Structure formats: structure tokens, C-alpha cells
Amino acid sequence: MRPILVVTPATKFGSWAWIEKALAERPDQPAIVVSYGRSDTAPPNVRFVALPVLIDYAAWGPRLAERRYLALNLLYYAPLLPIAWWLAVRHRPSVLLANGVLPAAILGPLTMFGARLILAFHGSIGHVGGRWHATLRRVLRPVDVAFANSAGSADDLAHVLDRGRIQIVEHWADAVFFNTSLERAGGSPLRVLFVGRLDDEKFEQCLRVSERLAEEGVIELSAVGTGPLQQALGRPGLNHLGYVSDKHRLAQIYAESDVVWAPADVTYVAIPGAEGLASGCPLIISARPAVFTHARDGLKVPRDIVPDGIGRVVDADDEAEATLRDWAATGIDESVRRQCRAYATEHYSIDNIRRVADALVP
């Protein structure tokens, strides 16, 4: 069987998790992943042709996506190009799957071998300007279909790709998170969980607020992930659990938490938010978008991105502190946890990925 050929800059964090889960839905179809580094949780049908990790993508990836650094971003992807071409000539893949616009540009010419090109889009491209837009529109012509993770991402991608080729597929949570117990041990402090990149883009406000409340014993913060801000963890009440690749262990961590501080963009909640709701954890979400370009433009996460009963969007630090103090004082009732799971079942189930899995079939 002709394989799927994937090009991705990273094998950690949300955009890779999205692809990894899609590949797992097609266990009989082999896949070859060209990347920096490799994933320990990839399904058995996936093998890697990986280069050493050149930079900390958690720290530098968002910066390289800025307009002034796009040329450097192209250079970052350049070493993957000859590998992808060599593998395409040798294996004649049936599907090319690009994690991002620039990988799609790398893979586009390889459609000459009869492969379909699929773009997984979880970033931002609208900010790069008209000249880049014109160039990208040309190099993205081979894209057959693009899957964006929200309406906002779809609108952004429409700067460089015909909207008729863009489909919206929201994030989803694996069954293991829906199967966690909704019962929690009571008592104080309130157990807050953050999962994701530990950087200024996603984690800064959570860390700043949690430091003060942890000193008072109001909350205990546990953070899963890696990034430049991890060095601030390790003090009393601030626990760094590292990068957790085992989803069963991750589900257990969610099940031992009261609240999830979830990153969000202006139109979607990140994967940890979906997993937290599936595990019965209400969300606290910063109003500052977890995407530098949107935050810089003054955009805000809307208050109604999740219903009031199962989450709260907070703006200033004092609002975040008041919310966590209130939840610490009252506790999280099991009825709230049931509402969280019911909402996740409706919005973030595995059904969301089936269109992507179907597209991977030759």
C-alpha cells in the first residue's frame, strides 16, 4: 500500500497531536513522517525519518512565524525538503500531509507523483502581508483540501487559499479523557492544571497569577509541558510535571485536578481545554489570545467561548485571582463536572476527526 507522507516542524504540542490522532484512525495505512525529532506516542503504522531538533520550537516557533522572520522560517524548513523529495520519489505516497502552510509549500511539487496534498492548519498567516499572500496563493495551488481547527483559522487561511478548499474540524478529546472518574477528593488548596507550551504566549498570565495564590495556599498549580517559563516552577505550590506523552497518564493528571487553565485563541479553545472538559474540569481562560499576532493586534478571547457554567474568560490578573479564590472557597460541584463532560461530548468527541481520517484514504 502506498504510504502517507507527512512533513511537520515539531512532534509535540497541539498541531502534532491533531495529526497523530488522525493517523491513528487509519492503522492499516502506513505513514512516513519527516520531522525534527520524533514522537514516542505515534501509532504503530507511523515511522519517522527525523533530523535532530535544531531549536526549541516551543520558544522560537511563534517568533519565527512573525512577518519579519519569515525568511528565517523558510530556512528552518529547508533541511526537510531534500528528505521529503527523496522519500516521495522512492515510495510514491498516496497522500501528502503538511503540518502548516510552509510544509505545504515544500510538498506541493510532489503532487506530480499522483498524491493528494492535505494541509493541516492551526496557526496564523493573515498577518504576513500582501506580497507573501500572493506568493503563497501560487505555491498552495496543489492543496486539495485544508483542515482548519476553527472558523477564525479558516478565515485567516482564506487570505492564501480558496475558501472552497477549507474545512473546519474542531479539536477533540480521546476516549480516555471521557472515561475518567468525575469524583474528586475535596479539600484545599484548589488544584489547577495547565497543559501546553510553557512560554510567554500561552502560560505567562497563568504563572503570574498562580505564583501569588500558591504562596497563600489558595491553589496548587501543576504544569505539563516544556518551554522557557518552566524554570519558574518547582517552588512550593508550583509543580512541573514535564512533558507527558502517555495519554493514560495525562488523563490521570486531569482526573486529579479541579480546574484547567486552558489556552485559547479568539475563536477556539486549545486541545487541553477540550481534554479538561471531557475529564470534568471547568476552564479558566485568559482573555489574551494564546497567539502573539492576535494579542499584539488587540484581539480578545470572547466571553462566551464556553458557557458560563463550565468556564470563565478572565481579563486582568485581579479578575483571574478573584475567580480562582471563589472556586477555591466553594469547591467544584459534581453537577458542574457532569455539565463539562456533556458539553465536551457534544462539541469535542472523536467524531470531529473522522472527516480527516476519511481524507487520508487513497
Q: Are 177 and 337 in contact (CB under 8 A)?
A: no
What pLDDT sits at residue 221? 98
**Based on the domain organization, do 125 and 208 belong to the same domain?**
no
Q: What is the mean pLDDT of residues 254-264?
A: 96
What pLDDT sits at residue 68? 62
**Based on the domain organization, do 91 and 215 belong to the same domain?**
no
Instruction: Report CA dihedral (55, 59, 62, 67) to the nearest 10 degrees.
Output: -70
**Based on the domain organization, do 156 and 264 belong to the same domain?**
no
Q: Please name the residue ranges forming H helices in 52-185.
A: 57-64, 70-77, 80-91, 101-107, 130-139, 151-157, 175-178
Count: domains in the chain: 2
Alpha-carbon torsion (128, 129, 132, 136), positive or negative: positive
Q: What is the mean pLDDT of residues 130-138?
A: 83
Q: Residue 247 domain-assigned?
A: yes
For the stretch 170-227, pLDDT in tens is: 888 989 999 999 988 777 899 999 999 899 989 999 999 999 999 999 999 999 999 9
Q: Residue 352 domain-assigned?
A: no
For the stretch 2-52, pLDDT in tens is: 999 999 988 876 678 888 888 998 999 999 999 988 988 889 999 999 998
Confidence of residue 263 (pLDDT cuts 50, 70, 90): very high
Q: Residue 294 domain-assigned?
A: yes
Domain with 149, as residue range(s), is 4-169
What pLDDT sits at residue 312? 96
pLDDT at 61 over 70: no
**Based on the domain organization, do 164 and 185 belong to the same domain?**
no
What pLDDT sits at residue 57? 59
In the chain, the percentage of residues whose pLDDT exceeds 70 is: 93
What does pTM read for this prediction?
Answer: 0.75
**Based on the domain organization, do 276 and 143 belong to the same domain?**
no
Confidence of residue 60 (pLDDT cuts 50, 70, 90): low
Distance, CA of 273 to CA of 271 (rounded, Å): 5
Q: What is the mean pLDDT of residues 286-310?
A: 88
**Based on the domain organization, do 157 and 183 belong to the same domain?**
no
Q: Are 278 and 344 in contact (CB under 8 A)?
A: yes
pLDDT at 306 over 80: yes
At 15, which CATH number?
A: 3.40.50.2000
**Based on the domain organization, do 189 and 152 belong to the same domain?**
no
